[in-house]
Structure 1
């Protein structure tokens, strides 16, 4: 029985890792599509979201089956809870990637501001690295690294603030950019939220390792 349980737990772990890679690619492609005005890539992100949603449903189903049939305790139960909670965060990250992709389609043909798009691309790169790092930290059960990854969310917040201020200035000076700048604000907001969800996953990694539920980045002053 223990061998069967271990295999089921490993399969669950693999499903989560695969979902994480799909989400990371979705976030990357959505911003790439937005910055490059690539409508086809944006549509691909939107179409592929159904796979991410199916992954979350599959993880939830597998998790409940393991809990019901194997009745795991202590660390094994924490791992299942972590995967369920973190997969929910991943699904929301995928939703934000779709929202960015939809912005690509919506603003096609509007006046664009290259400087702001470059700033969004830079912000997206920070977020992408955070997503990749948190997935690696999860695989390695590295709670110390998770805490450090969460601190990078401050960089995302600062990038968002710079983009916000630039957009407001642009709209005041160039009324023709109001529609486009509004989408820039939305896209940067979606990226900022993805950073928040990465922080949530960091917190679940800490829980998995320490059995303690903590809140990272409280007032952006989390002490390592």
Structure 2
């Protein structure tokens, strides 16, 4: 395989990653919409469409394997291909959490909310932006951007703690709020885990560029 052909196939991998990231971002957006608007049909679509992300993961991993088999990549190329396989795993797990939230939306379909749902959409908006920026950092091999994206994880943690501190006394005061408050906390936890997976993407990007393994999930 010529170098130009190899570079073109690497470029196609980048596009595949961006397409997968776009699907995951859409699922996260829609699972929150389903929750807020009691949209059971939308929630079920998210659950049913989970196979789309799973299939994208398998297809990208297969391309990576074939690319290695056809060419003896340089060390930097090998890190890029290896990083791609790691990133698609994190994207697939983000999509799994969107499915988790969609299931909660179905469970709460007939309930009046105990409080306005404000913090959860805020978390979702931050997470979606993190996904976009982390994948841009990967495609652009931008270590500085990868570090910057990880800083946003602190905002997610702060919102989660705020919701937890709000829900705890509410549950202690009124047992009737326990189930719904617990479900909201699960939603926040799933979004927090998505942000952790975004941080993983940034860690892999840093590894791809520098060869150094960083632990930014602190």
TM-score range, shorter chain: over 0.9
Alignment of structure 1 residues 6-155 onto 2, 5 Å? 6-115=7-116, 117-155=117-155
Find the aligned partners of 1:169 and 1:108 in 2 and give their Cα distance: 24
CA apart distance, 1:98: 0.4
| 3-state secondary structure, aligned to 1:216 | coil
Q: Deviations over 1:6-27 (max 9, x none)?
A: 2322222211111011111111
**Which is worse superposed, 28-37 or 88-97?**
28-37
In structure 1, list runs of 5 or more residues that go unmatched: 219-224
TM-score (norm 2): 0.95
In 2, are the aligned partners of 1:111 and 1:177 still within 8 Å (CA)?
no
Is 1:195–2:199 an aligned residue pair? no
Find the aligned partners of 1:50 and 1:125 in 2 and give their Cα distance: 24
In 2, are the aligned partners of 1:131 and 1:198 still within 8 Å (CA)?
yes
Q: Deviations over 1:161-181 (max 9, x none)?
A: 111121212212222221111
Q: Deviations over 1:73-108 (max 9, x none)?
A: 211111101110011000000000000001000111
In structure 2, list runs of 5 or more residues that go unmatched: none
Find the aligned partners of 2:46 and 2:173 in 1 and give their Cα distance: 33
In 2, are the aligned partners of 1:34 and 1:103 still within 8 Å (CA)?
yes
**Which is worse superposed, 148-157 or 170-179?**
170-179
In 2, are the aligned partners of 1:24 and 1:131 still within 8 Å (CA)?
yes
CA apart distance, 1:29: 0.9
Find the aligned partners of 1:19 and 1:95 in 2 and give their Cα distance: 13
Find the aligned partners of 1:75 and 1:157 in 2 and give their Cα distance: 34
| 3-state secondary structure, aligned to 1:114 | coil
Q: Quote the residue 1:221 is aligned against.
A: none
Find the aligned partners of 1:71 and 1:39 in 2 and give their Cα distance: 49
